[in-house]
Amino acid sequence: MAEKAGTPFILQGWRTRELRFAKGTAQSRMSRWAPDRLVVDYTRTMLGALALVPAPARIAMVGLGGGSQAKFLHRHLPAAALEAIEINPAVIALRRQFRIPDDDARFRVVEADAAEWLKTQPASIDLLLVDGYDTSGIPAALSTQRFYNDCRAALRPGGVAAFNLYDTAHAEHRHRLQVAFGAANVAVVEEARQSNRVAFAWMGPLAATGVVSALSSAGQRELREALAAVRVRVQGR
C-alpha cells in the first residue's frame, strides 16, 4: 500500500504477517499458510473490477505493499501482464518476506513515482489498481485532479480503474474521479466491516455481459461476492 518514502517493518503473528509503517495500522496482511489468499476485505472488493473487465491483458498496480493483489493475480490470471509500481525501495526489499514472485516474463515490480509513470502509459492499461498510501493517508501526488486525469488517459477503451479510498477526504477524491471520468462512469462500494470504500471508474464501453472470465475457477470462487457486488452496483445505477 505504500507510495511514499517511509520505514516499513514487519509484525509477525502465528497466522499472519503484516507490513506496517506505524504501530496500530497494518498496510498489508498476509496469511502465512496461504500467502496468495486475499485476507483483507477491500482487496477482494477492488478485484471485483474483474466483473467489468473480465479478461484484462495488462494490469498495473499503484503501490506494492505486501503484494496481496499481485500474488493473487499472478496465480489466478495467468494470461495477464502485471506491473506493480512502488516508490519506496524499502517496501520492495521486503518482497520475499511476503512471498511476492520474482520478476518474470509477465510480472515485474517497477521502482518509480506512479504519478509520473502513469503519464508515460497512454491508452495502454486494461485494469488499474490504485492503493497508494503513506503514514498520513493518500499521498498528495496521488490526490490531484491531474493524477486522476492521467489514470483515465492510461486506460484503453473498456478499461477499468479501482481506487482504495481509506481517507477522511473520500468525497473530494470521488468528485475528482467524476470530473476525470464523468459521473456516469464512477461507482463506489462501501466496505461494511472497514472504514474505507472502493471507487470504480471506467472508460466505456464496458465488456458485454457474458464475456468469459480469464480468472481461474479457484480465483472466481474467492472473488464471488466481490464480483457480484460490483455487478449489482454498476448495473443498478
Task: Tell me whether residue 41 is one of the annotated catalytic residues.
Answer: no
Closest CA to 36 of 107, 111, 85: 107
Annotated active-site residue in 131, 134, 150, 167: 131
| CA–CA distances in Å: residue 66 to residues 198, 214, 222 | 19, 24, 19
Cis bond upstream, residue 122 (ω within 30): no
Closest CA to 206 of 156, 151, 153, 159: 159
Count CB atoms within 10 A of the CB of residue 52.
23
Counting beta carbons within 10 angstroms of the beta carbon of residue 210, is it exposed (0 to 12), middle (13 to 18) or buried (19 or more)? exposed
Neighbouring C-alpha atoms within 13 Å toward the C-beta of 128: 32
User: Among all residues, which ones are annotated catalytic?
Assistant: 131
